[in-house]
Every structure is written in C-alpha cells, then in structure tokens.
Amino acid sequence: MAATMRDVAEAAGVSIATVSFVVNDSKRVAPATRRKIELAMAELGFRPNKVARALASRRTQIIALVYPALEHPMATAMDFLISASRAATAADHQLVVWLVSYDGNELAALVGQQLVDGVLLMEVQLDDPRVAVLQDLGIPFAVIGRTRDVAELCYVDIDFDTTMQVAMDHLAELGHTRIAFINGSQDDPGFASYGPWVRSEIAYRDLTAARGIDPVVLQSRQGVRAGRAAAAELIGTAPDTTAVIMAVETAAAGLVVELGRLGRPVPHNISVVTINGMPDIAASCNPPLTVVTAPGTELGRLGVEALLSQFDPNAPLRRELRTGELILGESTGPVLRAAAAAGRPAKGKARGVARGV
C-alpha cells in the first residue's frame, strides 16, 4: 500500500501534524525538521491522499463541468472542456464531467454528493432552472452564457454585439449593404429562446438600424439539409441580398452549396460569413468560409477562473465577455456592382458552375 502521513511521521521521527505542515506549507517548520521530513517522503514515495484531505479540509479541489450534451450539443464543447481542464489543473483542481440535462433535480442530486466544490454550467438558457437550483444549494457556480436576469450571476459569455459588428464591418468594407442574417431556428427543440441567437439577432437589428440597412432575418435549423433550404428561402424572399451572416455553422456548408446551385455562387455573387464557428470547420468547407470564431478556448479558462475566484469570499463578482476573431476564408468578397445597383440577382449560372476553378 501507499505510504501514509503516519508512515512519514514515524520515519522522520516527528508527529503527523508536522508532516502535514510541510506537505501543505501551512506553518513554519524548522529547516532541519523539514529536511528530515522531505527525505522521508522521498524515500517512501509519499503522495498525500486527496480523499482524506478532502474529508478533513472540506475541500475536494474538484469542480464539475455541466454539459447538456444531449439537449445542447455544441461543436466547441471539446475546446471548451480542454481549456477549462487546463485552467483547473493550473489552479490545482480537477474537473469532473456531468452530462445532465436542464432538469435541476439531477443536478441537485449530484451536488448533494458533496464531491465538488463548485460548478461550471455550460450552455445556460435565458431561463435556466439549473441556476435557481444552484443558488438554493448555495454552492459556488459560474455559467457560460447568460440568463435573462443577470443579477448576482457570475458569468462569462460571448460578446454577441461585437461579434456581429466584426462580421458586419467586414462585409461593409467589401461594399455590402444588403446583408441578411440567418439565425438558428426557434423550432429546434430546446433552442426555443436560445441566448446566443436571441442576442445575435438583437445585435443584428441594432446594427442594421444604425447603418440604415434593411434587416432580413431568416431561420435555419441544424444540418446541411437545413442550410440548403435556407438558401432557397433566402433567394426566394430577398433575392437582392449580397451577403449573409450565418449563425448556424452546421448548416453553412449546405447554404453555400445550394446558393451555388441556385446560380448565386459564393463568394462571387453572395458573400457568406459564419459567426461563432470553429476555424477548422470553416476551413474544411469549399470554399473555405470566412468566420468570426467562437472564443471557446478563452471562455473555458475564464469560466473556471471566475468560478474559482468565488472561493475567495471577498473577491469581486467576475463577469467577462469575449469576442472571437475574424478568420478570412474565401466565402466573402467584394459586392457585385450590378447586383448591388440593380437589386437583382446577377446572371450567375455560368459563373457559379465555374466556381473555384
């Protein structure tokens, strides 16, 4: 069996308390004694037992990452997990993964096991039952995203305003003024009022209003097929559109393909920029997509840091918003003069077929 503190204490000829002091560096210990103890520890290969430590100190140094994988799968989940785990490790904590739904009871049961010191909630909803549950339980927690009412809430989130602005600035610089927004669909189960979509749409409407652009908002569900449908709808309802901001990354490939098929090749006839997407997914499209990335990597770290900061009772409430970066692909280009001026689709069939050659 592994050596215990008692073994070390005996080997070093000191008391178990003193060993504890040097292990945790929690009290001054005479250099000589410390040396004896360190020697004994090395010889015995002593490793403090986390479980015993947790029981005695009432701190497990474990935090839970709560991810509703079934209800809200997200492409960036792994990025997020990785950066969260790194941040936890850096602060001498471990991460357990809880794949629970939005049912607060399940979460409460897990918290009740007293296995974790805090909870990091992913994919929080505008009205999220889990938040109230955790507040009642009195366990420290931070959320990724924001509830509708944000009072007292410790959160980190994407800055959707800036994200939208980056996308729109990019298109504006290319001369676009007819910029549609394809948002996620309310019909998608579980996404009825999904914070990122709600906030993105508000940002889009604000920005178009401020710039005198006619807002055109469509909705698309997830997946390539839905993207194709969105393309058809877009051309049907707003044929003079020259650029699209796309919030549904999984549908972006379908959108682009179908636009080409409809004689509106990307980027020659219509520009497409996705928001809150992932670089590698954007890059693997044809043409590679211009994207404002989701800052998943940063949010994971920030979320953990915000959570851990709460263990310090007189630390201020942390809240952070972050914006991803604009990665230029080949799905955005200058506006077609003819289309922009006339408000009609360019005769694109021939060009469309020749795309990318």
Partner DNA sequence: TTGAAAGCGCTAACAG
Partner DNA sequence: CTGTTAGCGCTTTCAA
Q: For 128, which DSSP code?
A: -
Q: Does 30 participate in binding DNA (rule CB under 7 A)?
A: yes
CB 151 within 8 A of CB 180: no
Q: Does 53 participate in binding DNA (rule CB under 7 A)?
A: yes
Q: Does 2 participate in binding a second copy (rule CB under 8 A)?
A: yes
Q: Does 29 participate in binding DNA (rule CB under 7 A)?
A: yes
23 binds, among DNA, a second copy, none (CB under 5 to 8 A by kind): DNA
Q: Name the residue nearer to a second copy (CB basis): 11 or 340.
A: 11
Number of H helices, E strands in the chain: 15, 12
Q: For 312, which DSSP code?
A: S
- Integer CA distances (angstroms), 54 to 135, 224, 273, 303, 331, in order: 23, 48, 49, 23, 53
Type of residue numbered 36: K
Q: In which element (H, E) is residue 292 found?
A: strand 290-293
Of residues 118-147, those binding DNA (CB under 7 A): none
Quote the CA–CA distance of 75 and 98 in Å, as a whole number. Answer: 17
Quote the CA–CA distance of 308 and 142 in Å, as a whole number. Answer: 9
Q: Does 95 participate in binding a second copy (rule CB under 8 A)?
A: yes
- Least distance CB 353 / a second copy (angstroms): 6
Q: Does 315 participate in binding a second copy (rule CB under 8 A)?
A: no
Q: Name the residue nearer to DNA (CB basis): 60 or 208.
A: 60
Which member of 25, 45, 57, 147 binds DNA (CB under 7 A)? 57
Q: Does 48 participate in binding a second copy (rule CB under 8 A)?
A: yes
- Least distance CB 7 / DNA (angstroms): 8
Q: Does 42 participate in binding a second copy (rule CB under 8 A)?
A: no
- Least distance CB 3 / a second copy (angstroms): 10
x/- map, 8-27, DNA, by CB under 7 A: -----xxxxxx-xx-xx-xx
Q: Name the residue nearer to a second copy (CB basis): 92 or 312.
A: 92
The packing angle between helices 249-261 and 224-237, to 10°, is 50
- Least distance CB 59 / DNA (angstroms): 7
Degrees (nearest 5) of the Cα angle 273, 201, 99? 85
How many C-beta neighbours within 10 Å does residue 95 have? 20
Of residues 271-310, those binding a second copy (CB under 8 A): 280-281, 283-286, 288
Q: Which stretch binds a second copy (CB under 8 A): 21-29, 119-127, 250-258, 337-345?
A: 250-258
Closest CA to 71 of 100, 98, 112: 100
Q: Name the residue nearer to a second copy (CB basis): 261 or 318.
A: 261
- Least distance CB 316 / DNA (angstroms): 24
Q: For 115, which DSSP code?
A: -
Q: For 330, which DSSP code?
A: S
Degrees (nearest 5) of the Cα angle 207, 211, 213? 90
- Integer CA distances (angstroms), 200 to 62, 124, 168, in order: 34, 15, 12
How many C-beta neighbours within 10 Å does residue 334 have? 14
The site for DNA (CB under 7 A) is made up of 1, 4-6, 13-18, 20-21, 23-24, 26-30, 32-34, 46, 48-49, 52-53, 55-58
The site for a second copy (CB under 8 A) is made up of 2, 47-52, 54-55, 60, 62, 69, 77-78, 81-82, 85-86, 89, 94-99, 109, 112-115, 223-224, 250, 253-254, 256-257, 260-261, 280-281, 283-286, 288, 353-354, 356-357
